[in-house]
Structure 1
Amino acid sequence: MNTRLTSVLASVTFGLAILSGLAFLGTGVTHMLDDGAVCVETGFWANARLASDGLPVAKGVEAAGSVTRLCQNGPSVGQRAADLGGELPWLLFGALALLLFSRLLTTVLRQGPFTGAVAGRLSALGWFVAVGTPVAGLVVGWSQSWLVDSMAPVVGSGPTVSGPMVLVLAGLAGVILGKIMREGVRMREDLEGTI
């Protein structure tokens, strides 16, 4: 096992987790203090064109020529928070996943790769990725859906799940590998006890 490479990787992932956490906080604070317009993309009217009488949009909302981009000048606090819902869940998810991965690598360095603690950390990371991916995607989808509905109430499109859902498979693979490792550790301990 290359401990120097693992040590560097653990440090880099911890640093990236801290940077992602700071980006999460910074984005949240600066966006809530911003007084600019809030814009959202929608595919509901993707093939529509602006008619002379306009579209049924809320007061202060501007629609782009292709009607896929809506912008609210002077948004409410709820609209600004819903706009943040499109960015913050993935930043938080990334920061926490990197932190869990860094802890996994640190445990590998301290105790070795084939221990019960490493198997537990791998399973925890797997569960976090498997469950956190659809949760973050649902929060993003619901936030964007609510934001579109607040600007153009006629749309009526329901919340969607967005993001890379293939990560669920990666998370489940981590859970399975963690269980396999745990069984391997148990079998090794049983074997050492009989010798």
Structure 2
Amino acid sequence: MQDQKLLEPIITVASVALRLLMALMVAAFILSTVHGWGSGSVCTTDWTSNSSYAARDFVPEPGARVGSVPRYCAESATTAQNILANLGPLASLALSVGGLFLLNLLLRGASRDGVHTLQTATRLRLLGWWLLAGSVAAATVAAVSRTALLASLARGVDLTAVSWFQAWNAPYLAIFTGLGLLTFARITRAGSRMREDLEGLV
């Protein structure tokens, strides 16, 4: 009971956030099913362009210059283009929902079994690996899908390792948070073993 009090209010917040995200995912799935994936317009910018084009409708201050980046849009996007446009946000949403689920599992298990236990250390380690590997995977999926979408809309742009690496944004915060959780999992595991040894001596 004492451990449960220590873990509030994060247990309640994680539980409510998980339920809200699940409801949003169900609503988004229903809307996408009703409206279909093969219609509408999708757009993307060409970040691979080496030089920006001058924007004639804007007048900069002396000593400043203005440029524009090409933006490609499909007036009637195909199903494949709609999927590519939504893969990045879906991967990010899946990472968030999975992280909240594991966080909720960790907190409820810790309140039930205790904070300084091997079970809590295992769940903490699982959450750390989810954030570390999942964030890198989600960023990679977003970069590849964004590059593939641009390649389907712009001539002269191909889906290559160089082009998708240019679109890849490293999730530094999630990576360092995952590494921190893995470290705390090792500390918790060591502490739980010391506790078990002390209880065995008593």
Normalising by the residue count of structure 2, what TM-score does the alignment of the two structures yield?
0.79
Instruction: Tell me which residue corresponds to 2:14.
Output: 13
Shift of 1:49: 5.1
User: Quick check: 2:135–2:174 contact (8 Å CA) kept in 1?
Assistant: yes
Structure 2 residue 71 is the aligned partner of structure 1 residue 69? yes
User: Who is 1:193 aligned against?
Assistant: 200
Moved more, 36-45 or 134-143: 36-45
The unaligned stretches of length 5 or more in structure 2 are 56-66
For the Cα contact (< 8 Å) 1:7–1:109, is it kept in 2? no
Answer with 16-25 or 119-128: which moved more.
16-25
State the distance in 2 between where 1:131 and 1:79 align.
26
Return the offset for 1:27.
3.4
Distance change in 2, residues 1:129/1:102 (3 Å): same
Deviations, residues 125-184 of structure 1 (Å, cap 9, x unaligned): 001001001000000010100000000031236213235333111101111110111111
Q: Structure 1 stretches of 5 or more lacking a match? A: 51-64
In structure 1, the residue matched to 2:53 is: 48
Task: Check whether the contact 2:91–2:142 (CA below 8 A) recurs between aligned residues.
Answer: yes
Give the Cα–Cα distance (whole angstroms) in 2 for the partners of residues 48 and 27 of structure 1: 37
TM-superposed CA distance for 1:41, in Å, is 2.3
- 1:30 CA displacement: 3.1
Provide TM-score, normalisation by structure 1.
Answer: 0.82
Q: Which residue of 1 aligns with 2:172?
A: 165
Q: Which structure 2 residues correspond to residues 106-125 of structure 1 after superposition, within 5 A?
A: 106-125=108-127
CA RMSD of aligned residues (A): 2.3
1:177 aligns with 184
Same amino acid, percent of matched pairs? 28
Q: Secondary structure at the match of 1:140?
A: helix
Change in 2 beyond 3 A, CA 1:191/1:144? same
Partner of 1:142: 144
Q: How does 1:19-30 map to 2 (within 5 A)?
A: 19-30=20-31
What's 1:129 paired with? 131
Asked if the contact 1:79/1:147 (under 8 Å) is kept, the reply is yes
Q: In structure 2, how many angstroms separate the alpha carbons of the residues matched to 1:41 and 1:19?
A: 31
Is 81-90 or 154-163 further displaced after alignment? 154-163
Contact 2:88 2:138 in 1 (8 A): no
Instruction: Give the letter aligned to residue 10 of structure 1.
Output: I
- Specify the code of the residue in structure 1 equivalent to 2:174: L
Aligned to 2:59: none
Q: How many residues align?
A: 181
Query: Do the aligned partners of 1:148 and 1:155 also contact (CA within 8 Å) in 2?
Result: yes
CA deviation vs aligned residue, 1:5-62 (integer Å, no higher than 9, x gap): 6344213212212322333343355346262101112322360359xxxxxxxxxxxx
Q: 1:103 to 1:30 in 2, by over 3 A?
A: same
Q: How far apart in 1 are the matches of 2:200 and 2:29?
A: 54
